Amino acid sequence: MRHPYGSEKDACWGGRGFQFQSEDQRLWLERMGERGWTAPSWPSEYGGGGLDREHAKILKKEMARINARPALYSFGINMLGPALLKYANQEQKKHFLPQIVRGEIRWCQGYSEPNAGSDLASLQAPLEDKGDHYLLNGSKVWTSYGDKGDWMFCLVRTDGDASKHEGISFVLFDMETPGIKARPIKLISGRSPFCEVFFDNVKIPKDQLVGELNKGWSIAKYLLTHEREMISWTGLTQAGAKSLGEIARQNSPSRNGILDDTFLRADVTRLEMDELAFALTIERARDETRAGVSLGAVSSWFKYYGTELNKRRHDLLMDIHGSRSLPWEGEGNEDGKIPRDWLRTKGNSIEGGTSEIQLNIVAKRILGLPS
């Protein structure tokens, strides 16, 4: 586990059906989960590491120093968990959070619908109160890993007459509940990381509603700030991974470690400087969040900048490899990793809210410009 993340199969997502690539991968998750170090700063009463911000920072640095791969990639830890810590009741926290820390539940996110993407509050999937349970109908779209998730956290319409932000609720349910069907959608890259999900009279126990009925929009927005921060990490080079400069030197003509192509040299240098400045800014913001300051709209700025930076990095990788970037299949080029990863970066600036939407939020909430 002391090698940088190479391809998707290196990522451990945990959950009921997860196929571990090796015994090491399984053990790494188990050991990190036991100590709560998959969620180092969550309270230990919910299975987290219970570390204060200084210790959490030290743990992160030590893990980077030994090139340790993350033990768990998890929407539960990076998206749902913070929302549960803030909005769930004590039983829900006690039940779900320790399972999330140990990587026992893989979550998917049911937010977008065919007519509710950027304008998320227009979502329609109706959840009806049937006395002793709820009944869910409608559909979701672009659900990442909708076919692999064990449970979904989902936004539903519980009051069709209220203004659009008012009648939304936040529920959790098991994807094996009868009446749920997930259909993968194929991307231009040939991969199918997301699905359409259909609900046909899905029975949901009432204790799986998080927060108050019709008050789900606040939870949705809070969760999105964490999602946006998570996606912004795509702008940072993974711990232990080669820098763009090293890759360029290995793959383009250079003398004494200096790239011959002055334009490429300038582009790589500019990107590495921007990335360093971004990493330091993120680090400062993390210190602030550990000190209890909410990221709020700043997460939109990070998401915008990180994903645009990642697109620039992959554009440059395509340039550096020249015609070797083009083959789509075959062992020599890891089944087209370079062009497929380049295509995937386009999705980063759409998922979690598009770049245009992040700029709208920055304009309104940070710069105070009129709508």
Whether 8 is catalytic: no
- 350 near ligand FAD (CB under 6 A): yes
Place of tokens 């790239």: 259
- Is 93 or 106 the residue whose CB approaches ligand FAD more closely? 106
- Is 22 or 118 the residue whose CB approaches ligand FAD more closely? 118
At 64 the three-state DSSP class reads helix
- 353 near ligand FAD (CB under 6 A): yes
- Is 144 or 269 the residue whose CB approaches ligand FAD more closely? 144
Cβ contact 110:155 at 8 Å? yes
Cβ contact 232:183 at 8 Å? no
- 117 near ligand FAD (CB under 6 A): yes
What is the chain's length? Answer: 371
Among residues 113, 227, 229, 275, the one annotated as catalytic is 227
- Is 28 or 342 the residue whose CB approaches ligand FAD more closely? 342
Stretch that binds ligand FAD, among 14-22, 241-249, 261-269, 350-358 (CB under 6 A): 350-358
> Which residue among 50, 347, 364, 365 contacts ligand FAD (CB under 6 A)?
347
Each residue 65-104 as x (binds ligand FAD by CB under 6 A) or -, in order, gives: ----------------------------------------
Cβ contact 107:230 at 8 Å? no
Report, in Å, the least distance between residue 201 CB and ligand FAD: 21
* Start-to-end Cα distance in the chain: 48
In eight-state DSSP terms, residue 238 is: P
Report, in Å, the least distance between residue 189 CB and ligand FAD: 10
> Which residue among 21, 22, 89, 118 contacts ligand FAD (CB under 6 A)?
118
What is the secondary structure of 158-227 as a DSSP string? S-SSS-TTTSEEEEEEETTSTTEEEEEE--TTS---EEEEEEEEEEEEGGGEESSTTBHHHHHHHHHHHH
- Number of helices (H), then strands (E), belonging to the chain: the values are 11, 10
Each residue 140-179 as x (binds ligand FAD by CB under 6 A) or -, in order, gives: --xxx-----------------------------------
Cβ contact 50:43 at 8 Å? yes
Q: Is residue 359 packed enough to be buried (19+ CB in 10 Å), middle (13-18) or exposed (0-12)?
A: middle
> Which residue among 150, 275, 341, 351 contacts ligand FAD (CB under 6 A)?
351
**Footprint of ligand FAD on this chain (CB under 6 A)?**
109-112, 117-118, 142-144, 194, 347, 350-351, 353-354, 356-357, 360
Residues labelled as active-site residues: 227
